[in-house]
Copies of this chain bind each other. A is one copy, B any other.
Amino acid sequence: MVTKQFKGSPDEADLTRADSLAREIFSDVANKWALLIIEALGEGTLRFGQLRDEIAGISHKMLTQNLRMLERNGLVERNVHPTVPPRVEYTLTEPGQALRETVHGMCDWTHRYLSHIDASRRRFDA
Protein backbone atom coordinates (compact mmCIF):
# COMPACT_ATOMS: atom_id res chain seq x y z
CA MET A 1 0.00 0.00 0.00
CA VAL A 2 1.21 3.41 -0.96
CA THR A 3 -1.87 5.12 0.39
CA LYS A 4 -1.14 4.54 4.06
CA GLN A 5 1.96 5.76 5.77
CA PHE A 6 1.26 4.51 9.25
CA LYS A 7 0.16 1.06 10.30
CA GLY A 8 -2.33 0.32 13.01
CA SER A 9 0.06 -1.21 15.50
CA PRO A 10 2.34 1.22 17.26
CA ASP A 11 5.88 -0.09 17.12
CA GLU A 12 6.69 -0.99 13.53
CA ALA A 13 9.21 1.74 12.93
CA ASP A 14 10.80 0.00 9.95
CA LEU A 15 7.54 -0.54 8.16
CA THR A 16 6.40 3.04 8.61
CA ARG A 17 9.75 4.31 7.37
CA ALA A 18 9.49 2.12 4.30
CA ASP A 19 5.94 3.34 3.79
CA SER A 20 6.80 6.99 4.00
CA LEU A 21 9.68 6.41 1.62
CA ALA A 22 7.31 4.66 -0.78
CA ARG A 23 4.96 7.58 -0.55
CA GLU A 24 7.78 10.02 -1.15
CA ILE A 25 8.89 8.20 -4.27
CA PHE A 26 5.33 7.90 -5.46
CA SER A 27 4.82 11.63 -5.03
CA ASP A 28 7.99 12.36 -6.97
CA VAL A 29 6.95 10.17 -9.84
CA ALA A 30 3.20 10.74 -9.91
CA ASN A 31 3.26 14.16 -11.49
CA LYS A 32 2.50 15.33 -14.97
CA TRP A 33 5.95 16.42 -16.10
CA ALA A 34 7.89 13.50 -14.70
CA LEU A 35 5.60 11.02 -16.39
CA LEU A 36 5.68 12.88 -19.70
CA ILE A 37 9.47 12.93 -19.62
CA ILE A 38 9.59 9.22 -18.95
CA GLU A 39 7.14 8.57 -21.75
CA ALA A 40 9.17 10.71 -24.13
CA LEU A 41 12.39 8.90 -23.24
CA GLY A 42 10.75 5.58 -23.91
CA GLU A 43 11.78 5.65 -27.54
CA GLY A 44 15.45 5.98 -26.64
CA THR A 45 18.12 8.52 -25.83
CA LEU A 46 17.26 12.19 -26.24
CA ARG A 47 19.13 15.43 -25.80
CA PHE A 48 17.90 18.22 -23.57
CA GLY A 49 16.65 20.30 -26.47
CA GLN A 50 14.99 17.34 -28.11
CA LEU A 51 13.08 16.64 -24.92
CA ARG A 52 11.97 20.24 -24.76
CA ASP A 53 10.67 20.00 -28.32
CA GLU A 54 9.08 16.62 -27.75
CA ILE A 55 7.11 17.62 -24.68
CA ALA A 56 4.67 20.34 -25.65
CA GLY A 57 4.34 23.13 -23.14
CA ILE A 58 7.17 22.24 -20.78
CA SER A 59 9.39 25.11 -19.72
CA HIS A 60 13.15 25.08 -19.57
CA LYS A 61 12.96 25.23 -15.82
CA MET A 62 10.48 22.40 -15.30
CA LEU A 63 12.47 20.19 -17.63
CA THR A 64 15.78 20.63 -15.81
CA GLN A 65 14.10 20.42 -12.43
CA ASN A 66 12.33 17.16 -13.20
CA LEU A 67 15.35 15.69 -14.95
CA ARG A 68 17.43 16.30 -11.83
CA MET A 69 14.78 14.65 -9.72
CA LEU A 70 14.58 11.64 -12.01
CA GLU A 71 18.35 11.39 -12.08
CA ARG A 72 18.47 11.53 -8.30
CA ASN A 73 16.01 8.67 -8.08
CA GLY A 74 18.06 6.72 -10.61
CA LEU A 75 15.38 6.61 -13.29
CA VAL A 76 17.32 8.47 -15.95
CA GLU A 77 21.01 8.52 -16.75
CA ARG A 78 22.68 11.78 -17.68
CA ASN A 79 25.55 11.72 -20.15
CA VAL A 80 27.55 14.87 -20.73
CA HIS A 81 29.70 15.03 -23.83
CA PRO A 82 32.52 17.49 -23.12
CA THR A 83 32.27 19.22 -26.48
CA VAL A 84 31.52 22.78 -27.35
CA PRO A 85 28.70 23.48 -27.48
CA PRO A 86 27.88 20.97 -24.75
CA ARG A 87 25.80 17.94 -25.61
CA VAL A 88 23.83 16.28 -22.84
CA GLU A 89 21.94 13.07 -23.44
CA TYR A 90 19.32 11.46 -21.24
CA THR A 91 18.41 7.78 -21.20
CA LEU A 92 16.10 5.67 -19.10
CA THR A 93 17.80 3.28 -16.70
CA GLU A 94 16.37 -0.16 -16.08
CA PRO A 95 14.08 1.05 -13.27
CA GLY A 96 13.08 3.91 -15.54
CA GLN A 97 12.23 1.50 -18.34
CA ALA A 98 10.18 -0.58 -15.94
CA LEU A 99 8.21 2.46 -14.86
CA ARG A 100 7.81 3.45 -18.46
CA GLU A 101 5.79 0.30 -19.12
CA THR A 102 3.10 1.43 -16.72
CA VAL A 103 3.27 5.03 -17.91
CA HIS A 104 2.73 3.79 -21.40
CA GLY A 105 -0.28 1.95 -20.06
CA MET A 106 -1.63 5.26 -18.81
CA CYS A 107 -1.16 6.85 -22.23
CA ASP A 108 -2.94 3.95 -23.87
CA TRP A 109 -5.71 4.26 -21.35
CA THR A 110 -6.07 7.97 -22.08
CA HIS A 111 -6.59 7.33 -25.77
CA ARG A 112 -8.86 4.35 -25.29
CA TYR A 113 -11.30 6.29 -23.11
CA LEU A 114 -10.85 9.69 -24.73
CA SER A 115 -14.31 10.04 -26.24
CA HIS A 116 -15.91 8.28 -23.29
CA ILE A 117 -14.38 10.81 -20.91
CA ASP A 118 -15.16 13.71 -23.19
CA ALA A 119 -18.82 12.70 -23.16
CA SER A 120 -18.83 12.30 -19.39
CA ARG A 121 -17.42 15.78 -19.00
CA ARG A 122 -20.10 17.37 -21.14
CA ARG A 123 -22.76 15.55 -19.16
CA PHE A 124 -21.26 16.69 -15.88
CA ASP A 125 -20.85 20.32 -16.94
CA ALA A 126 -24.57 20.50 -17.65
Cβ-defined contact, A5 with B56, below 8 A: yes
Cβ-defined contact, B30 with A106, below 8 A: yes
Nearest-neighbour CB distance to chain B for A123, whole angstroms, equals 8
In the assembly, what is the distance between CA of A35 and CA of B26, in Å? 10
The proximity string for A residues 36-66 relative to B, scoring 1 for CB distances below 8 Å and 0 otherwise, is: 1001100000000000001111000000000
The binding surface of chain A is classed by DSSP as: helix
**Residue in B26, B111, B124 whose CB lies within 8 Å of A71:** B124
Cβ-defined contact, A32 with B30, below 8 A: yes
The A15-33 residues at the B interface (CB cut-off 8 A) are: 18, 21-23, 25-27, 29-32
Cβ-defined contact, B54 with A124, below 8 A: no
Cβ-defined contact, A73 with B121, below 8 A: yes
